């Protein structure tokens, strides 16, 4: 679960996963707004886009400041990645469009990747971008003194070899389906400018990077007034001469969502992300565009399978049947969500379309509970067995009203089945601590995922003590299948393995999978070609444009 909806969570990124674990409401853009404007459809160049953001960025160096979603979203407009992950993962594994890379070729054994960089790409001070920048960036990413939060994503890279000014050879320890994604994690930084400061001094000198900022992305930093606004301007040295289309992008810090929406409707801002579902009708009625897509997230109830109440898979399934997940979606999400089925999202290519959610069936749930010896012997409305009531604590975090409201609804649904769930709201760090220590009965949370589909993080036995298998779920078949899927290079073979895992999790219900949310953004009617997605809230910002001058 995460406080930010666009963070990609890869199982190998254990160093920072907890920070995006427990708070969010919630790549392909599956749905979009209907075009109602008579404004021109031919892209025009110029104009200033104003975006309302809830939080300021933390800094300008991606390796020491870019762990939160807002900062990363901005810095990825300033610095190029080798590739750009595409939002095309519905029918097949996602593709990666070359950005700084011109071409690439794999060796027959999948352990070596030859890259050729684009010629003519330069830093904003005119110095060419070279293979040395790529190698030096990898050295920074893996330097123990710098301690980058995503350093574990580089563990499979044995060496980055410079062949000549524009060519590199990447040596991997072993082949895996996620090699390209792991290589692409992190943007490329300017060696000639930033190597003046030793890696060990980076974290204590964050302002130095603002004063020595050199970029190679579509935008440059014009100004930054902390806690007020960030102004990006077109990088005139960017390698695609017709892009970006915008002259400037102003990211204005407006902490309260209602104030952001008010400024949108007043014409003072052009784009607001994370719009509450309850506001959609009002915004559409007043002429705003609503941009929507399925988030890469599922929300869940995690059962601590080592607690006696939740050790039996049939009983866990009965709990799921007692919870009316569609009512939660209709009430809290205004139907901008769907029932979750498994950790492999409905919109992911490997998901089994024949796998249906466990049905809401209160009577069937009661029958299972009765068959397991649970009955209300004392007439207090709570089932009991051998003198023990079916009563447990359900924890969730403060800071997410949707999660809190969902927990209260779950409490009521279970009460109808004769089960007492005592909802307890805890501060974020307390929930994290208790989850890692397995000190809970049940927990309502959610996972933001990436498209690696490595399920080790929450469902492999090895992650009970060293990972995020909070509920201590252990199944030898699941362990074996996860290991095999993580090594399967053929997508068809991998899909079969993942669907076997889905089937087991669906049957045993270590989680009750609650909902998958849609993300909703609102835009002024003059904004065109805006494509927010789980890849980034500002995905392809270089191509966004305004249908009229300021």
Task: Identify the pLDDT of residue 89.
Answer: 92
Residues 6+ apart with CB under 8 A from 452: 10, 11, 12, 177, 178, 181
Task: Identify the pLDDT of residue 238.
Answer: 97
Query: Residue 183 phi/psi, 5° resolution?
Result: -60, -40
Q: Please choose, from the candidates 549, 547, 550, the residue with its C-alpha nearest in 3D space to the C-alpha of residue 42.
A: 547
Strand partners, 83: 98
Q: How far, in Å, CA of 458 to CA of 341, rounded?
A: 16
Q: Which two tokens stand for residue 204?
A: 């204590």
Task: Identify the pLDDT of residue 1.
Answer: 39
Task: Identify the pLDDT of residue 11.
Answer: 35
Cα–Cα distances in Å, from 44 out to 268, 352, 529?
21, 43, 11
DSSP string, 43-90: -----EEEEEESS----S-HHHHTTSHHHHHHHTTTS--SEEE-S--S
Strand partners, 369: none
Cα–Cα distances in Å, from 260 out to 231, 250, 268, 271?
17, 14, 9, 9
Question: For residue 513, what is the enclosing H or E element?
Answer: strand 511-523
Strand partners, 420: 391
Task: Identify the pLDDT of residue 75.
Answer: 97
β-strands 391-397, 442-448 pairing: parallel
Q: How far, in Å, CA of 292 to CA of 238, rounded?
A: 30
Q: Which two tokens stand for residue 180?
A: 């390209």
Task: Identify the pLDDT of residue 399.
Answer: 86
Task: Identify the pLDDT of residue 205.
Answer: 95
Task: Identify the pLDDT of residue 93.
Answer: 93
Class of residue 204 by CB neighbours under 10 A (exposed 0-12, middle 13-18, buried 19+): exposed
Q: How far, in Å, CA of 441 to CA of 503, rounded?
A: 24
Task: Identify the pLDDT of residue 246.
Answer: 98
Q: Which two tokens stand for residue 460?
A: 């492999």
Q: What size, in residues, is the chain?
A: 550
Task: Identify the pLDDT of residue 481.
Answer: 98
Q: How far, in Å, CA of 149 to CA of 139, rounded?
A: 14
Task: Identify the pLDDT of residue 272.
Answer: 98
Task: Identify the pLDDT of residue 40.
Answer: 58
β-strands 511-523, 337-339 pairing: antiparallel
Q: Please choose, from the candidates 405, 449, 549, 420, the residue with its C-alpha nearest in 3D space to the C-alpha of residue 13.
A: 449
Q: What is the dihedral of CA 368, 369, 370, 372, to 10 degrees?
A: 90
pLDDT by residue (tens digit) across 408-427?
Answer: 999 999 999 999 999 999 99
Contact 438, 472 (CB under 8 A): yes
Q: How far, in Å, CA of 256 to CA of 264, rounded?
A: 13
Contact 549, 360 (CB under 8 A): no
Q: Locate tokens 């139907």: which residue?
A: 335
Give the three-class secondary structure for 428: helix
Q: Which domains does the chain have, with CATH numbers?
A: 297-518 (3.10.105.10)
Q: For every residue of 345-388, which 3-state class applies, written as one string?
A: CCCCCCCCCCCCCCCCCHHHHHHHHHHCCCECCCCCCCCEECCE
Q: How far, in Å, CA of 222 to CA of 244, rounded?
A: 15
Task: Show pLDDT as tens, one digit a residue, over the chain (550 residues).
Answer: 333 332 233 333 333 333 333 333 333 333 333 333 445 578 999 999 999 999 999 999 999 997 888 999 999 999 999 999 998 999 899 999 999 999 999 999 999 999 999 999 999 999 999 999 999 999 999 999 999 999 999 999 999 999 999 999 999 999 999 999 999 999 999 999 999 999 999 999 999 999 999 999 999 999 999 999 999 999 999 999 999 999 999 999 999 999 999 999 999 999 999 999 999 999 999 999 999 999 999 999 999 999 999 999 999 999 999 999 999 999 999 999 999 999 999 999 999 999 999 999 999 999 999 999 999 999 999 999 999 999 999 999 998 899 999 999 999 999 999 999 999 999 988 999 999 999 999 999 999 988 889 999 999 999 999 889 999 999 999 999 999 999 999 999 999 999 999 999 999 999 999 999 999 999 999 999 999 998 999 999 999 999 975 4
Q: What is the dihedral of CA 400, 249, 218, 548, to 10 degrees?
A: 120
Q: For every residue of 139-174, which 3-state class applies, written as one string?
A: HHHCCCCCCCCCHHHHCCEEEEEEEECCEEEEEECC
User: For the CA atoms of the chain, what is the radius of gyration?
Assistant: 24
- The reported pTM is 0.87
């Amino acid at each position: 679960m995460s406080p930010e909806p666009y963070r990609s969570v890869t199982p190998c990124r254990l160093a920072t996963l907890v920070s995006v674990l427990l708070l969010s409401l919630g790549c392909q853009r599956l749905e979009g707004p209907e075009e109602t404007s008579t404004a021109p459809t031919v892209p025009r160049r110029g104009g200033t886009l104003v975006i309302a953001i809830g939080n300021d960025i933390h800094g300008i160096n991606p390796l020491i400041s870019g762990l939160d979603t807002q900062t990363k979203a901005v810095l990825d407009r300033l610095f190029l990645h080798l590739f750009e992950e595409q939002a095309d993962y519905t029918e097949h594994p996602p593709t990666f469009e070359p950005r700084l890379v011109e071409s690439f070729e794999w060796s027959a054994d999948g352990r070596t990747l030859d890259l050729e960089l684009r010629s003519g790409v330069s830093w904003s001070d005119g110095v060419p971008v070279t293979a040395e920048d790529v190698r030096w960036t990898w050295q920074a990413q893996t330097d123990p003194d710098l301690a980058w939060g995503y350093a574990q994503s580089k563990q499979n890279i044995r060496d980055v070899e410079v062949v000549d000014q524009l060519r590199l050879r990447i040596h991997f320890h072993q082949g895996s389906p996620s090699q390209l994604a792991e290589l692409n994690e992190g943007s490329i930084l300017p060696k000639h400018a930033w190597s003046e400061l030793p890696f060990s001094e980076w974290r204590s000198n964050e302002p130095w990077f603002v004063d020595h900022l050199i970029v190679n992305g579509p935008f440059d930093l014009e100004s930054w007034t902390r806690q007020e606004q960030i102004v990006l301007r077109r990088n005139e040295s960017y390698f695609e001469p017709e892009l970006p289309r915008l002259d400037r992008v102003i990211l204005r810090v407006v902490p309260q969502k209602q104030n952001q929406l008010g400024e949108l409707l007043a014409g003072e801002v052009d784009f607001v992300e994370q719009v509450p579902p309850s506001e959609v009708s009002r915004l559409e009625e007043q002429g705003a565009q609503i941009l929507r897509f399925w988030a890469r997230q599922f929300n869940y109830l995690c059962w601590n399978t080592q607690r006696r109440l939740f050790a039996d898979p049939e009983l866990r399934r009965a709990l799921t049947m007692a919870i009316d997940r569609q009512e939660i979606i209709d009430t809290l999400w205004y139907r901008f969500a769907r029932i979750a089925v498994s950790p492999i999202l409905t919109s992911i290519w490997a998901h089994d379309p024949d796998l249906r959610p466990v049905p809401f069936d209160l009577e069937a749930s009661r029958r299972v509970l009765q068959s397991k010896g649970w009955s209300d012997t004392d007439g207090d409305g709570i089932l009991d067995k051998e003198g023990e009531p079916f009563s447990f604590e359900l924890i969730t975090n403060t800071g997410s009203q949707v999660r809190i409201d969902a927990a209260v609804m779950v409490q009521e649904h279970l009460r109808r089945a004769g089960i007492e769930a005592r909802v307890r709201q805890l501060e974020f760090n307390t929930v994290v601590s208790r989850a890692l220590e397995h000190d809970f009965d049940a927990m309502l949370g959610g996972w933001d995922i990436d498209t690696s589909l490595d399920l080790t993080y929450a469902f492999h036995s090895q992650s009970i003590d060293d990972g995020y298998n909070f509920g201590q779920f252990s199944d030898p078949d699941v362990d074996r299948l996860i290991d095999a899927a993580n090594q399967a290079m053929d997508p068809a073979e991998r899909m079969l393995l993942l669907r076997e895992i889905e089937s087991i999790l669906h049957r045993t219900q270590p989680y009750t999978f609650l909902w998958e949310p849609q993300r909703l953004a609102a835009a002024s009617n003059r904004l065109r070609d805006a494509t927010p997605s789980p890849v980034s809230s500002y995905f392809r910002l270089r191509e966004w444009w305004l249908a009229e001058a300021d």
